[in-house]
Amino acid sequence: MSWFPARAVIDDAAIAANVRSLAAHAPTAQVMAVVKADAYGHGLVPSARAALAGGAAWLGAAQVGEAIQLRRAGVVGPRILTWLYAPGAPLADALALDLDLSVAAPWALEEVVAAARVVGRPARIHLKVDTGLGRNGLTPDQLSELLPAALRAQAEEAVEIVGVWSHLAFADEPEHPTVRAQEQVFADAVALVESAGAHVEVRHLANSAATLTAPRAHYDLVRPGIAVYGLSPVPQLGSSADFGLVPAMTVEAELATVKPVPAGHGVSYAHQYVTPRDTVLGVVPLGYADGVPRHASGTQDHVGGPLQVGGRRLGVAGRVCMDQVVVDLGPDATEVAGDTVVLFGNGADGGPTAQDWAQAAGTISYEIVTRLGARVPRTHVNAEGQQ
C-alpha cells in the first residue's frame, strides 16, 4: 500500500537509549535485545539496528524465520538466538547463517544435530529449561535424560553447548514465591550442565521485568523485550519514566471527516454513544483491522480509548469499527479534515500512551504495540550510527 492516512513513527534514538538504560540496570550482564514479533510491532530490521547502536550485544528472535531475515538483511555482527520452532524448521539455513539455536525438546536436539551435519559446522545451542512456566523447554528430568546425548554430540563436534536458559512466569510480580522457586530450579539446572562438563558461555533468565527488578536473576545475559521499546513491564511498580525508558512508537492519523451533528445523534454501530448536545464529530481512519482494540470502544457512560486532538485529551465515541473510530470533538471544535490525531506516543506532552490504551482495553501494553496492523506504515526517525 503506497499511501495510508495514518502512520507509526518509531524513534530509533529512543530504542538505543532504552538499551543503554537497561544495561545500566544490569551492569554485570550483556544485553540481548528481543526483537521478536516484528520488534514488538516496531519494525524488525531497523529496530534491531537501533538496539545494536545502543549497545546490545545479542539479539533474540522467537521464530527462526525472523532470525534468518535479520542475517539476510545484513545484521551480521551480533550473536542472534532463535528458540521457537517445530519439526521440519529450516535449521540448516539458520546454522549456515551463524544463528544460535535453542534446544527445548529431545526431538529438537536430533534435528539440530542432523542440520549441523548437513552444513558441516557445529551448532551453537542453548538448552532451554522449563523451570515452572509450563511452556516451551525441557523439564528437569528431561534435561537429565538429554544431557548425555548433547554431550556426545558436542564430542562429535556436531554441537557446542553455549547456553542454558529459562523464562519466568511471574517476573512482573518480583515477590511472588514462584520467582524464587524458578530461580532455584534454574540454578540447579545450570549446576547439572556444568558439572557434566559443559562450559557454557551464557546463562540467562531475566526478561524485561527481571532486568529492572531482580538483579539476582541477571546472570551473564539479560533478555529485555518490551522495555527495549520504552514500555514498562511492571506498570503497577513504575512507569516507563520511572525506569529511565522512553516509549519509541507514536501512532497518529489525519482526521478524515469533520461534521456538525445535533444532540441525540447516534454514533457508530449499535449507537452505544449518542451525542448529549449539539457537537462536532471527527472520523479517525484507523480501526480494529489496524490493531485498535475493539474493547476500547466508548459508550454513553464510558470514554473509550484515548485520543489527543489539538492538544486536548478526548476519547473514542461509540464502537471501534474495522477501519475507523469516531471522536466527539465538542461543540466549539475548530479542527478540519487533515488535522492530526495522536492515538498514543511517549506521553511527554500529556498525550496518551500505549499503557493508557492497555488500561482502556483491559489488556497489556505489549498487545497494543504488537497488534498494530501491517497496513499502517512504520516510519523510523533519529537513527544513530548503525551497522
279: CATH? 2.40.37.10
In the predicted structure, residue 1 carries a pLDDT above the cut 60: no
The whole-angstrom separation of Cα 33 and Cα 248 is 14
The 10 Å Cβ neighbour count of residue 149 is: 14
Average pLDDT for residues 202-221, to the nearest whole number? 98
Nearest by Cα to 267 from 325, 190, 227: 325
Query: Which residue numbers are catalytic?
Result: 36, 269
Terminal Cα distance for the chain, rounded: 28
- Residue 139 included in any domain: yes
- Residue 75 included in any domain: yes
Q: Please report, rounded to a whole number, the percentage of residues in the chain having pLDDT higher than 70.
A: 99
In the predicted structure, residue 226 carries a pLDDT above the cut 80: yes
Give the pLDDT confidence score for residue 75 in this predicted structure. Answer: 97
Across the strands, what pairs with 81?
Answer: 60, 100
In the predicted structure, residue 239 carries a pLDDT above the cut 50: yes
pLDDT digits (tens, 9 = 90+) for 126-136: 999 999 999 99
281 and 201 housed in the same domain? no
283 and 199 housed in the same domain? no
Give the pLDDT confidence score for residue 384 in this predicted structure. Answer: 76
Q: Could you tell me the pTM of the whole model? A: 0.96
187 and 274 housed in the same domain? no
Across the strands, what pairs with 202?
Answer: 163
Of 167, 198, 228, at which residue does a domain stop?
228
65 and 203 housed in the same domain? yes
For the record, the C-alpha cell of 370 comes out as 504488537
Average pLDDT for residues 209-237, to the nearest whole number? 97
50 and 167 housed in the same domain? yes
| CATH of residue 79 | 3.20.20.10
64 and 196 housed in the same domain? yes
In the predicted structure, residue 346 carries a pLDDT above the cut 80: yes
Nearest by Cα to 291 from 354, 220, 210: 354
Q: In what order do the strands lie in the sheet with 249-254?
A: 312-315, 306-309, 340-344, 249-254, 6-11, 378-381
In the predicted structure, residue 96 carries a pLDDT above the cut 50: yes
What is the tally of structural domains in the chain? 2
Spatial neighbors of 322 by CB under 8 A, at least 6 apart, are 287, 288, 289
Give the pLDDT confidence score for residue 386 in this predicted structure. Answer: 54
H, E, C per residue of the chain: CCCCCEEEEEEHHHHHHHHHHHHHHCCCCEEEEECHHHHHCCCHHHHHHHHHHCCCCEEEEEEHHHHHHHHHCCCCCCEEEEEECCCCCCHHHHHHCCCEEEECCHHHHHHHHHHHHHHCCCEEEEEEECCCCCCCCECHHHHHHHHHHHHHHHHCCCEEEEEEECCCCCCCCCCCHHHHHHHHHHHHHHHHHHHCCCCCCEEEEECHHHHHHCHHHCCCEECCCHHHHCCCCCCCCCCCHHHCCCCCEEEEEECCEEEEECCCCEECHHHCEECCCCEEEEEECCCHHHCCCHHHCCCCCCCCCEEEECCEEEEECCCCCCCCEEEECCCCCCCCCCCEEEEECCCCCCCCCHHHHHHHHCCCHHHHHHCCCCCCCEEEECCCCCC
pLDDT digits (tens, 9 = 90+) for 259-306: 999 999 999 999 999 999 999 999 999 999 999 999 999 999 999 999
Average pLDDT for residues 85-92, to the nearest whole number? 98
199 and 299 housed in the same domain? no
- 385 band by pLDDT with thresholds 50, 70 and 90: low
pLDDT digits (tens, 9 = 90+) for 154-195: 999 999 999 999 999 999 999 999 999 999 999 999 999 999
- Residue 119 included in any domain: yes
Give the pLDDT confidence score for residue 387 in this predicted structure. Answer: 47
The whole-angstrom separation of Cα 49 and Cα 41 is 15
Q: Which amino acid is residue 144, in one-letter code? A: S
| Domain that includes residue 34, residue range | 12-228
Q: Are 343 and 351 in contact (CB under 8 A)?
A: no
115 and 18 housed in the same domain? yes
The whole-angstrom separation of Cα 184 and Cα 118 is 38
Give the pLDDT confidence score for residue 344 in this predicted structure. Answer: 98
Q: Which amino acid is residue 54, in one-letter code? A: G
Spatial neighbors of 57 by CB under 8 A, at least 6 apart, are 30, 31, 32, 78, 79
For the record, the C-alpha cell of 257 comes out as 471527516
Angle among Cα 55, 61, 63 to the nearest 5 degrees reads 170
pLDDT digits (tens, 9 = 90+) for 49-69: 999 999 999 999 999 999 999
- 2 band by pLDDT with thresholds 50, 70 and 90: confident
